[in-house]
Amino acid sequence: MKWITSKNKKTIVALIILIVIIAGLLDIKYKGLLYQLMSNFI
């Protein structure tokens, strides 16, 4: 894992955050599991 520099780590973290945001938006759009869990709290 030493080949991963700090620049690459930032890129990987940014990519993961982006994937989570996109997945969340798609989930809400198609009323998936996350949407159902959220509707219970709101």
Domain limits of the chain? 6-41
C-alpha 27/C-alpha 20 separation (Å) is 10
Reported as half-sphere exposure (CB side, CA atoms, 13 A), residue 3 has a value of 0
Cα dihedral sign, 10-14-17-19: negative
| pLDDT attached to residue 2 | 63
**Residue 16: predicted pLDDT:** 95
Q: What is the pLDDT of residue 19?
A: 95
Q: Which residue has the tokens 């989570």?
A: 20
- pLDDT profile of the chain (42 residues), mean per 10: 72 93 87 78 68
**pTM higher than 0.75:** no
What is the model's pLDDT at position 35? 74
Give me the pLDDT at residue 3, please. 60
